[in-house]
Structure 1
Amino acid sequence: MWLMLLKNKQFWGTVIAILLLAWCLKDIRLSAVQSLCERVSYIYVIPTLISAFLFMATRAVRWRYLISQQKVLGWLRAIGLYSAGQTLNVIMPMLTGQVGRVILFSRKEGLRKTFVFSTIVLEVLFDALSLLVFLMLTSLAFAFPSEYRSVSYIIGTVTLLLLAALYIILHYQQRLEDTTQRWWRDNRPSLYVGIRKFIRSFTKGIKLLRSSRNLGAQLCLSLLSWFFHALTIYLLFNAFGFT
């Protein structure tokens, strides 16, 4: 029985999850938790949980829509899988969480890693566009300090460059493949095959950029998710009396 248990992947997954949870909680003192529980306004707790769930759900729906051209997931499956990916993104340092998400989504749904990577690139793009929209709307009511304005200019420039790069890849896919063929097909055939597969798989993930309707839907979902994110933070501040 113990031998079978040791060979069970779910068992080791549970052990790792418990160890990670213990590591995350190691610096938390029970007295501090008790103090927070005493000051919390529980009238905000349920709205906060609902808002946090809606934030995750809208992002999961957005990702479900991004991969729908390759595979259609159920709503609950998409939300559960995306939530697991976000957990990896939070607990893993720097950008390794994104790598973990790519591997998780690829293995669980049988998708090519390059395709999954392209959907994450699109997520970053739409998040950046949403941030720019919020900055523009906020600037109508508040005057940003000069240092924050420069940050918004940088974000806007990087976003436009990323968008332009994706459109170039989409519209000049065949030229890119022809170029790699001339450079590496004879000298390095294995490298050529790998690059060609990467280009084709990546472009499959960003094809929705060809449709203004798809762009609008993705941007609306992104804006909605960030609205719920901001609402969650606002409710948390009220719950703990920080306002």
Structure 2
Amino acid sequence: MGLNYQSTDQRFGSDYESEDTCVPSETESLKDPRGTRRMSTGFWIFVAALILGLPLFFETSTHLVNQCPLSYEARERMRDQEKRERQKMDMFWDQVEAHHCTTYGTRGYTAYLANLPIDYPNRIEACKETKLEIRGGSYFPKHCEDQGPGIVMGRWELNHNEPDCAPFWSWFRNKGCTSEGSGKRRFEHFLEHLPYGGDWREFCATTPVSFHGMHFPGAEICFQHNGGTYGQWEVEDSTC
């Protein structure tokens, strides 16, 4: 039998050719610029999404942590407000008392707020927002006095043209010209039926009068003489 021998150079050459033929193709893919760009683009998209998402994540987490206490406090405030509103709706004025006349046709009244809880926080506010039903009308108080827990008094000055609060001017006197060339004449009236305990200055200034075709809401000048109350008016008069 004959043997077929190859030279060393031929054997090594064949081995090299085999190795060149069997090199894995992934080596070439790693060197492919398109594959590199795809990997780089995906990586940076992931980084950008992570950076943009972190603030939103922390904000959402903070909101969720704080949401429960705030909602609880809000519900508590709402329940407390509803409770106060129900309590205020049950309040009314009691122990209504009439007092002296304060001005012409006007009398003072006082009353105490009933059904007022001792621990009610806004007593003056409740007083100001509760009307008094009297003489066919509804009126808010003019003043409110907090006299301690559960005690609030309201004050009213109501004008019902009550006869006891309506004095009148009786006789009048022409006092002549105020001075020569003044163009004004002075008239004087006496105030009758001054209410007991009333302020004579207030009633003098608020009791209306009409004379010589003119109407006045009250006296321009008020004074007292010998226990009586007098009012004076100065009107234009060309003869003066």
TM-score range, shorter chain: under 0.3
Larger RCO (CA under 8 A, 6+ residues apart): 1
Higher alpha-carbon Rg: 2
Give TM-score, length-normalised by structure 1: 0.16
Higher helix share: 1
Higher strand share: 2
